[in-house]
Structure 1
Amino acid sequence: MTSQMETNNTGTVQYDRWNESNINMNVEASQSTMMRVYNRMCTGTTGIIVKAGGALVTMVVIYIMGYATGYYVHRC
């Protein structure tokens, strides 16, 4: 009694359940637009650059808001 995953006498492996015509290997086409944008902009080297740029912009905005607030509070 042999299973389908064991090798047969010729040294090849049979995969009867796998029919390549039924498998969708195009993962990019099956994803939503938002997931494609997320995968491109938030992962890998590009993701690190985007996160660092976002942090820099956030710090500059907070600095400008603090400067303007301090100027108007202390201008007496």
Structure 2
Amino acid sequence: MQPPDSSVHYSRWDDSSQDQVSMAAVSSTEEPSCCQRISRKLCSGKLGVAMKVLGGVVLFWVIFILGYVTGYYVHKCK
């Protein structure tokens, strides 16, 4: 069970000596969309950790290959 989201609104008026703070609880009974469900599944738990590790490894190799190719053409003998 998740706690309901709450919204706090703070307004301060220059003319008045009182600050006004109002709080309203926002509860949503809507079901999450398909993208939100997929995102929640892929970004949390053990699967989320595995996806982040896999993304890091892929990013490392992309940067490595780009650096290798760039270095090859920059230091190529003429």
Task: Please state which band the TM-score falls in when normalised by the shorter chain.
Answer: 0.5 to 0.7
Q: CA RMSD in A?
A: 1.5
**Structure-2 residue corresponding to 1:56:** 57
Higher alpha-carbon Rg: 1
What amino acid sits opposite 1:34 in the alignment?
Answer: C
| Ranges in structure 2 where 5+ consecutive residues have no aligned partner | 1-28
More helix, by proportion: 1
Q: TM-score, normalised by structure 2?
A: 0.59
| Ranges in structure 1 where 5+ consecutive residues have no aligned partner | 1-23
**Structure-2 residue corresponding to 1:46:** 47
Aligned-residue sequence identity (percent) comes to: 41
Runs of 4+ in structure 1 off by over 3 angstroms are none
More strand, by proportion: 2
Could you tell me how far 1:34 is from its partner in structure 2? Answer: 1.0
The residue correspondences of 1:18-37 to structure 2 (distance < 5 A) are 30-37=31-38
Q: TM-score, normalised by structure 1?
A: 0.61
What amino acid sits opposite 1:36 in the alignment?
Answer: R
